[in-house]
A and B are shown apart, each in its own frame.
Chain A
């Protein structure tokens, strides 16, 4: 089934660790996004991509990096996790000017 998949669903990690959140979509969408969301709260754009080898920063990008080497894959890396990174991370994809399909999210806890 065509969808967007995020792993892991839940992650508890120690301060200072490097982590990569995985996101893959099987819909052939060119555009992909990462948003940060505290439960039920506003979505904040972290990074987005128009296609392979294209990445742009959002509002909360300063402490993370992304890559887009393949159309279907858009991982997010935190170089040094901090307790302030505790949140839910949502990946999404879309056709140009169309609504997003969101993944189920990764709930990250940094202790």
Chain B
């Protein structure tokens, strides 16, 4: 089955700096890679996703890149703000077998004002 590894587990940046979170996946058949943001005490919310036929996707201050050959994808947040502080989860959805998202272990991002 799919295995998703996420790094780092915690990340602290100064307001205005960039933050990068990286994930690797094991199943080369995976073709959908979403990112979720979970604020304290709230439900995970989808913030951006990318499919395997695209190498990069951007939405305002957030972007995701995908390297299918190396089986890794990354979340980039530019001009970080205190409200970006949350736990971020990457996930991968295999195209065969068990078709349910496998999540990474999460990254706790703290943006210092």
Q: A residues touching B (Cβ–Cβ < 8 Å)?
A: 31, 33, 35, 40-43, 45, 48, 50, 56, 58, 90, 97-105
| Chain B contact residue count (CB 8 A cutoff) | 25
Cα separation A50 to B36 with both chains bound (whole Å): 22
How far, in Å, is A6 (CB) from chain B's closest CB? 9
Which residues of the other chain, A, contact B42 by a CB distance below 8 angstroms?
104
Q: Which of B11-64 contact A (CB under 8 A)?
A: 31-32, 34, 36, 38, 40, 42-46, 49
Beyond A101-B46, A102-B43, A102-B44, 17 extra complex contacts between A and B, CB < 8 Å: A40-B40, A40-B108, A45-B100, A45-B101, A56-B98, A56-B100, A58-B98, A58-B100, A90-B44, A97-B31, A97-B32, A97-B93, A99-B46, A99-B49, A100-B46, A104-B42, A104-B43
For A35, the chain B residues whose CB sits under 8 A away are 103
The residue from B34, B98, B103, B108 contacting A43, defined by CB atoms under 8 A apart = B103
Distance between A23 CB and nearest chain B CB, rounded to angstroms = 12
Q: Are B101's CB and A100's CB within 8 A?
A: yes
Could you pull out 6 A-B pairs where Cβ atoms are within 8 angstroms?
A: A40-B87, A42-B105, A101-B46, A102-B43, A102-B45, A104-B42
Name the B residues within 8 Å of A90 (CB-CB). Answer: 43-44
5 smallest CB-CB distances across A and B, nearest first, come from A99-B46, A102-B43, A43-B103, A99-B34, A42-B105
CB-CB < 8 A to A40: which residues of B? 38, 40, 87, 106, 108
| Chain A hits for B49, CB < 8 A | 99
- Cα(A85)–Cα(B82), bound, Å: 34
Q: Which residues of B contact A102 (CB under 8 A)?
A: 43-45
**What separation, in Å, do the CA atoms of A90 and B38 have in the docked complex?**
12
Q: CB-CB < 8 A to B102: which residues of A?
A: 45
Alpha-carbon distance A58/B87, docked complex (angstroms)? 23
CB distance from A73 to the nearest CB of B (A): 19
Chain B positions within 8 Å of A43 at CB level: 44, 89, 103
Q: How far is the CA of A50 from the CA of B44 in the complex (A)?
A: 21
- A61 CB to closest chain B CB, in angstroms? 12
Residues of chain B lying within 8 A (CB to CB) of residue A103: 43
